[in-house]
Amino acid sequence: MTPATRTEDESTVAPDDVVEDEPRTPRGWWRLALLLVGALVFVFPFYYMIVGSLQKTQNQSLSGALPQPGNLTLHNYSEVNAALDLGRALINSGIFTGGVLLATVIFGVLAGYALAQLHFRGRSLLFVMMLLLLMVPFQLLIIPLYVLIVRNYGLGNSYLGMIAPFAINSTAVFIFRQYFMQLPKELFDAARIDGANELRILTRVALPLVRPALLTAMLLTFIGPWNEYLWPFLITKQQRMEPLAVALANYMNTVQSTVANPFGTILAGAFVLAVPAVVLFLAFQRYFIAPNIGSAVKG
């Protein structure tokens, strides 16, 4: 039973459990309790965000952690929408993230495949550069990048300018490479002997085999631009171009006291920002599961 073919099945016995004749109750119970505590602690801030965003007046005490019927309102959401134009900001985030996803799917897959299965001059150089890119902090590059993109290429305040530095996500390329490397070489040799060209090999042979990995890498790639704040902040000059992460961060700094519950409105905006990412992850959870990443890190 190879990791790649094992499916997520609740009835599968995980290796850490020795079933046989041991009564499961005592140890299993303890582990469940630990997980429950851990999960509750983990998810509490997220839950608190929801509760806080629904509060009519700010209540920071412990009792405020529970939703109080008298203090519930959706008003904060309409407030933040009035201040930020959530719809527009979400669209901007979508375009930004979508552009990155597109570029990564097309060019990242090509590059990952090339690094994994093709032999060509400059392959190791490309690989080393990729590793270096993963290691260098973005803030070191942000300054020259800004001058390059805005002054030299004139892409200031444009979606292209926003997307450019993030266009091909190197982590995704790394993951693609790892997954393609897991595929047996004989598969490709056979296809080559059959006379298929490399592009066809990639699309007909390799890609279908790593589709779960593709989705995994895409989900990981989604997080970056969706939550990115600094670069779009520098690039955009008009509020109507700002992605939601930027608009929200700016709003946090200038929240007017004319609003009934400033914290509540901020949390409402935060929730709106968080929801699409969380929903996507929950929906595609079964792809983002152990076996897929397992084969990636095994090597």
Partner 1 sequence: MKVEAELPPRTRPSVVELESELPPSAPEPLVKRLGRVALGRQPIGLAFGAPYALFIAVLFAYPLGLSVWISFHSYFFTAPGMSVARPFVGFANYRAVLSDPAVRQSLLNILIFLVINVPLTVGLSMLLASALNSLIPFRAFFRACFYVPYVTASVAMVAVWLFMFNSTGVVNSVLGPLAPVPSWLVNQNWAMPSVAVYVTWKQLGFFILLYLAALQNVPKELYEAASMDGASWWHRLWAVTVPGVRTVTTLITLLAIIVGANLFTEPYLLTAGGGPSGKSASPVLLMYQTGIEQNHPDFASALGVLLVLLVLVVVAAQRLLQRHQA
Partner 2 sequence: MVPVRSSFVARVKLRATVVVVFTLSLGLSALGGSAVASAKPAPLSYGPINIWYSNNAQEITWGEQEVAAWNHLYPSQKVTGQQIPAAESSEEVIEAAITAGSEPCLIYNTAPAAVPDFEAMGGLVSLNSFPGAVSYIYARTGALAGMYKSPDNEFYQMPWKSNPVVIFYNKTEFAKAGISTTNPPLATYSEFLATAKKLVSSGAAKLAIDPSPSSEFYEAWYDFYPLYAAESGGKLLVENGKATFDSSAGQAVAAFWAQLYKEKLAGNETYTGDPFADGTAAMAIVGPWAIADYQGKEGSPKVNYGVAPLPTSKGNTSYTVPTFSDAKSIGMYASCKNRGTAWDFLKFTTSESADGKLLSLTGQMPMRQGLEKLYASYFKANPDYIDFAVESAHIIDCPYVSNSIEVWQVFRNDWSKAVIFGSGSTDAALASASAAINKLVASNSSP
What is the footprint of partner 2 within residues 79-108 (CB under 8 A)?
Answer: none
Q: Is 289 exposed, middle or buried (0-12, 13-18, 19+ CB in 10 A)?
A: middle
Judged by beta carbon, residue 206 or residue 248, the one nearer partner 2 is 248
Binding mask 156-175 for partner 2 (x = CB under 8 A): xx------------------
- The partner in contact with residue 107, picked from partner 1, partner 2, none with C-beta cut-offs of 5 to 8 angstroms by kind, is partner 1
Q: Looking at 120, 208, 254, 258, which residue binds partner 1 (CB under 8 A)?
A: 120
Site residues for partner 1, window 66-105 (CB under 8 A)?
A: none
262 binds partner 2 (CB under 8 A): yes
Contact in structure between 252 and 266 (CB atoms under 8 Å):
yes
Question: From the CB of 101, what's the least distance to partner 1, in Å?
Answer: 15
- d(C-alpha 194, C-alpha 197), whole Å: 9
- d(C-alpha 243, C-alpha 265), whole Å: 17
Binding mask 164-193 for partner 1 (x = CB under 8 A): xx-xx--x-xx------x---x--------
Cβ neighbors of 287 (< 8 A, separation 6 or more) are 212, 215, 216, 219
Site residues for partner 1, window 232-271 (CB under 8 A)?
A: 234, 245, 248-249, 252, 263, 266-267, 269-271
Judged by beta carbon, residue 22 or residue 211, the one nearer partner 1 is 22
129 binds partner 1 (CB under 8 A): yes
- The partner in contact with residue 298, picked from partner 1, partner 2, none with C-beta cut-offs of 5 to 8 angstroms by kind, is partner 1
Q: Report the chain's terminal Cα–Cα distance, integer Å.
A: 18
Binding mask 223-252 for partner 2 (x = CB under 8 A): -----------x-xxxx--x------xxxx
Residue among 94, 108, 270 at smallest CA distance from 176: 108
Cα four-point dihedral sign 295, 105, 277, 7: negative
Task: Give the C-alpha distances (Å, rounded to integers) separating 144 from 90, 152, 214, 246.
Answer: 28, 11, 32, 21
Cβ neighbors of 292 (< 8 A, separation 6 or more) are 212, 213, 216
Contact in structure between 216 and 87 (CB atoms under 8 Å):
no
Given the rule CB under 8 A, which residues bind partner 2? 146-147, 150-151, 156-157, 234, 236-239, 242, 249-263, 266
